[in-house]
């Protein structure tokens, strides 16, 4: 009988430790998501008309690399360190993609 009580107590303690470990892991995940959200919210994202995009980007989207793709939306994104790039939402039929270009039309991400 004593062994049964000790075994039950041991299983209870193991269960408690397991639950605590899962809670700590979940908390760490929530903190990581909160940090990413904060970083993303520090970016400034302003919609830009396709016709108002810089000449370098206009040339890039008219090139053979973008043949068949159309720009649906364009945004000027300013990072917290003041770095800027253009984020283009493009489509080719049912395919959609997100393209990040600098003002000269070079891919930045």
Task: Answer yes or no: are the C-beta atoms of 74 and 48 closer than 8 Å.
Answer: yes
Whichever domain contains 50, its CATH number is 3.10.450
108 domain-assigned: no
Are 37 and 48 in the same domain? no
Range of the domain at 24: 1-42
* Domains: count for the chain: 2
Instruction: Dump the DSSP string for 27-54.
Output: HHHHHHHHHHHHHHHHSEEEEE-GGGS-
**What does pTM read for this prediction?**
0.61
Are 20 and 55 in the same domain? no
How far is the C-alpha of 53 from the C-alpha of 72, rounded, in Å?
A: 13
Mind listing the pLDDT tens digit for each residue in 33-82? 556 555 555 789 999 999 999 999 999 999 998 899 999 999 999 999 98
How far is the C-alpha of 92 from the C-alpha of 72, rounded, in Å?
A: 10
């Amino acid at each position: 009988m004593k062994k049964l009580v000790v075994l039950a107590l041991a299983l209870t303690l193991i269960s408690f430790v397991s639950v605590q470990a899962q809670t700590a892991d979940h908390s760490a995940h929530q903190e990581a998501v909160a940090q990413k959200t904060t970083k993303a919210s520090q970016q400034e994202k302003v919609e830009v008309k396709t016709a108002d995009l810089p000449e370098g980007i206009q040339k890039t989207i008219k090139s053979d690399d973008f043949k068949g793709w159309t720009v649906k939306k364009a945004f000027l994104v300013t990072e917290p360190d003041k770095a800027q790039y253009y984020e283009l939402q493009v489509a080719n039929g049912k395919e959609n993609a997100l393209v990040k270009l600098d003002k000269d039309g070079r891919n930045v991400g």
